[in-house]
Amino acid sequence: MNTFAVDARHPGLAPAESASEPTSVRLAIRIGYDGTAYNGWALQPGLPTVQGVLESALALLIRRKIRTVVAGRTDAGVHARNQIAHFDLTPAEVAGLARGADLEPGMALLRRLRGLLGREHGAILVRDIWIAPTGFDARFSALWRRYSYRIADGPARFDPLTRAFTMWHKAELDVDLLNAEAASLLGRHDFLSFCKPREHATTIRTLTEFSFQRDAEGVVVAHLKADAFCHNMVRAMIGACLKVGDGSENPGWVGMRLAEAVRDSRIMLADPRALVLEEVAYPLDAQEIARRAELTRTRRKPEELNKNLSKESDTK
């Protein structure tokens, strides 16, 4: 299956044609944010969140409460370069977005929304808004999500100017050991040992990429890609690998924890500030959008755990 990743190089999906006037029009939005000052994506009473700021701005523009659905609910302090969300408007609301100007509705809303979000001093940036194809769901239509994570290991690599998006790890890390542990997690598994379970939600996921490498400054950067990630899953996997990479645990410990499928205090959550949601991918074919959403809503079955990754080509 052909896919596209929604990132800085791609403006998004084109609108699907409809034979009849819809009762609502679904808009998709691509945003980036510095999560430092926010208690994550999801709404929390009395606390600043990215969803709260975005929905408050939309409510001012549309003059009613707007509810957004997101591709991945990031934790407190976590950042996003290309987060995807959707929300629904009536046809009349969409038609009124341009206020008489010769502008496509998405572009009109983009300009007005950017103006309102200026009060966040650049911490939340709306990149694109477009009319989504029929059946599009920012969460369930996604094929995969990709994250990055930066680690400065050792005081010699600590940089106060990058501390807002880099973890400081006191001990030196062995990148080869990190990669060996990361490789033991690839595939379709029950990641209960690395997840904070949610009620009625599965912890079965397919992890297709997980690797570590040093950049030009010597900072260790991890890259992860999966069909989806459970709550705390990325930070827990990073934290587990760090224990082996710095010698606190023996090689093979991460794979042993995976096999145990037990969530306990031995798993350390890595610092949220170094985690970035980089991109989310969706099918290119508009007709596959709704089918993908329906497939994802189907609960992953235990008998699928050992499914050959060669059959997962649509998530790569």
Active site residues: 75
Indicate the residue type of 185: L
Give how far the C-alpha of residue 310 lies from the chain's centroid of Cα atoms, to the nearest Å: 24
Question: Are the CB atoms for 276 and 79 separated by under 8 Å?
Answer: yes
State the Cα–Cα distance between residues 139 and 227, nearest whole angstrom.
11
State the Cα–Cα distance between residues 265 and 109, nearest whole angstrom.
46
Indicate the residue type of 58: L
Q: Which of these, 284, 280, 233, lies nearest to 127 by C-alpha position?
A: 280
Burial class, 14, CB count within 10 angstroms (exposed 0-12 / middle 13-18 / buried 19+): exposed
Q: Which residues contact 88 (CB under 8 A, 6 or more apart)?
A: 24, 25, 26, 27
Question: Are the CB atoms for 41 and 49 separated by under 8 Å?
Answer: yes
Six-digit token pair at 164? 């807002």
Find the length of the chain.
316
